[in-house]
Chain A
């Protein structure tokens, strides 16, 4: 790791100011990706602004028709939350499938969504549930938020404060994990709402998380595993690496979609 300066502000305002003061500064959430990258000397921020001291970024609340999760809430907290389990059990399931127990004790939802790793789990839930990303300066709808590989609508120095997940009628997540890294080779989140069904796929897309309109239409007609069994996504535009070819990923999207629907019940 290269040398850096460390700050741990107590408020969001201070954190935003610190990030704004130096364009080489980076925000540190759970650190599960950033510290690993820095250890490999692939990132060298001048300053790390540790967000863990900011109370307003933590916690899980039910607010009307939504579950609102603070950006610094850990995966383990989401997984264990009775609010989440009651309202969106598929989201609790997803949080429990991220990394391993120790990663879940440190990694945060805000860090994961800000990083937008194409194989991360949360983007699938955020997009399928049509969540709203709240930042220190605005709100961004899920459909506008994810803009590419590790790319989001966030501006330089903009911090996620919380994410609001509308409560669906039902939702489910199925993941085919990379057996080495435990990231998603394919993860499919299916959400059934009064406005219809949304299906979002992580892990597979060369451009990051994406929706599958054909599956959404089919499931809006009949919310059953069989409804998606025959729908194949094209391998074109999917990732291929030593762990899975695009063809295999395309196949897994259908299999995981079926399983996600079954899990949603």
Chain B
């Protein structure tokens, strides 16, 4: 029996009738057409599907859409400014070549943004430990870690950029 699931995604109120078994990631990808959030595994290990629900990073493959009823969801599509200016984290990934094939990137960026919400000045070790829930097969993590540390520096220098 379909249920109606409403939430706010990237600042926009949305409502869709879906089967209860619809995962949040499929609600985003299949019902809203927001295909920036990816599915890379089925055991909530890889982190390609990370989005923010009410400001916190979660794996959208391990959450029912119904569980996000009424929540504010931010996906990778909602991170850059309306005029297309990249978020400092996105910019740092570009500057430091923190992505190759791009598949893990949306989840990696969303996870890293959450890290800086929890810890604005992480050490390299803390960045690496936080990112244990995000697998990347291309970069060897080297440039991702560099990007996150640089974004942290830049966002501390201009806190409004964190918005």
Contact = CB atoms under 8 A, between A and B. Distances in A.
A185 to B, nearest CB: 16
B43 A36 contact: yes
Contacts of B115: 101
Highest count of chain B CB atoms <10 Å: which of A36, A38, A76 = A36
B111 A102 contact: yes
A106 B52 CA distance: 12
Given A8-B69, A101-B57, A102-B111, A31 B132 contact: no
B133 A50 contact: no
B21 A102 contact: no
Main secondary structure of the interface of A (DSSP, over half): mixed
Interface residues of B, number: 30
B66 A50 contact: yes
B21 A3 contact: yes
A123 B111 CA distance: 28
B47 interface: yes
Chain A interface bracket (under 10, 10 to 19, 20 to 34, 35 or more): 20 to 34
A119 to B, nearest CB: 14
A31 B20 CA distance: 14
Interface of B: 1, 3, 19-21, 23, 42-45, 47, 50, 56-59, 62-64, 66-67, 69, 111, 114-115, 118, 130, 132-134
A103 B133 CA distance: 8
Task: Pick from B44, B58, B66, B115 the residue with the most CB of A within 10 Å.
Answer: B44
A6 interface: yes
Given A100-B134, A105-B58, 7 more contacts: A1-B23, A36-B42, A99-B133, A100-B133, A102-B44, A102-B62, A182-B132
B57 A2 contact: no
Contacts of B62: 31-32, 35-36, 102-103, 106
Contact of A103 (B20, B21, B44): B44
B19 A39 contact: no
Nearest to B107: A102
Q: Which residue among A8, A50, A101 has the maximum number of chain B CB atoms within 10 Å of its CB?
A: A101
A90 B25 CA distance: 35
Nearest to A1: B21
B20 A4 contact: yes
B67 A50 contact: yes
A100 B130 CA distance: 7
B50 to A, nearest CB: 6
B59 A106 contact: yes
Contacts of B57: 101-102, 105
A104 to B, nearest CB: 9
A219 interface: no
Contact of A31 (B19, B63, B114): B63
Contact of B1 (A2, A5, A28, A102): A5
Contacts of A99: 133
A48 B19 CA distance: 13
